[in-house]
Amino acid sequence: MSVQKQKRVVVITGASAGVGRAAVREFARTGADVALIARGIDGLEGAKREVEEMGGRALVFPIDIADADAVERAAAETEEKLGPIDVWVNNAMNSVFSPVKKMTAEDYKRVTEVTYLGHVYGALSALKRMLPRNKGSIVFVGSALAYRGIPLQSAYCGAKHAIEGFYDSLRTELIHDKSKVKISMVQLPALNTTQFGFVKSRLPRKPRPMGTIFKPEVAAEAIEFASRHNRREIFVGFPTVKAIIGNKIAPWYADLVLAKTGIDGQMTDEPEDPNRKDNLWQPLPGDHGAHGPFVKESNSFSPVLWASMNKGTVLTTLAGLVAGGFILFSKLKKDSFHLG
């Protein structure tokens, strides 16, 4: 008699659009039941339909991730209706595209509460349930900008830096306690998500992702993989590796390059509408899905991510190549000796 494998219960914040929406689809494809947290009800209902179409159950929580009490209530209701939470994905974010000199205190406070404290509140609610059971997985959705700040996104970069610091502290405590709760941080590159039409902007031209752009499904694949493996960090895309490692080696050089290219590199040639609505304080109506407007420039595959996810195969292949090279070298050397 076969025993049916129990579905995983997954909570995803920022689930209505962008990376969160792509992650909803990725987890639903694996057969998970998903609790969806975001402010926009239209996008949440769209995500709920997608989960149900793939055979899963879904709960919708149209709440602000900056409200810790609301997050806790959502966690409690999820366990009551779907079962124990196996995976919590901290993904919700907000930002403001603006030079620092044009930012306000309210801008920084809001972005910090959503992007940084939203991760903290999610982690606290997840840990409250996972630690007593001594199992579960929390995925923190980070960015190359957690290590390397860039112009025009100071609030977002600061929040991502803060998440990295919180994550490091939590991970060391879990290791000290010998806890079996797994946590991982997925560091993302530039992605074609909805944020470039959502985020508040004070730029003269429309914002765009900087550098090489990837589809949000690439990030979603990494997030789902991280939920099942005890990896400290997962770097998505070579631009992420280059930004993080390069900044560790020569941050002064990154300063100069970004000062020269980082302003125009984050804007298209199209003028921005100064009256465009944004989602800093209220969600924008409609179901906007996962993708932004930069579809043609977006890559659907990351060799760096593939190598990370298949590091056993990569190491075996490299070992085989090294061994084969050694054997060939030995044979050539032997043949050369006999010829001499």
Q: Which residues are catalytic?
A: 156
DSSP state letters, 73-91: HHHHHHHHHT-S--EEEE-
Rounded distance between C-alpha atoms, residue 197 and residue 291, angstroms: 10
Q: Which residues of 180-216 are buried (b: 16+ CB within 10 A; e: fewer)?
A: ebbbbbbbbbbbbbbbbbbbbbebeebbbbbbbbbbb
Non-local (6+) Cβ contacts of 239 within 8 A are: 144, 189, 190, 211, 212
Length in residues, the chain: 340
Helix (H, G, I), strand (E, B) or coil at 116: helix
Write phi, then psi, for 236 (nearest 5 degrees): -105, 115
Class of residue 241 by CB neighbours under 10 A (exposed 0-12, middle 13-18, buried 19+): middle
- 3-state secondary structure (DSSP) of residue 207: strand
| Cα 325 from chain centroid (whole Å) | 39
User: For residue 141, how many C-alpha atoms fall within 13 Å in the half-sphere facing its CB?
Assistant: 30
Q: Is residue 201 within 8 Å of residue 278, measured between CB atoms?
A: yes
Phi-psi region of 289 (alpha: psi -120 to 50; beta: other; left: phi over 0): left
Where in the chain does DSSP place strands (E)?
9-13, 33-38, 58-62, 87-90, 96-97, 137-141, 182-187, 190-191, 200-201, 205-207, 213-214, 233-235, 267-271, 298-299
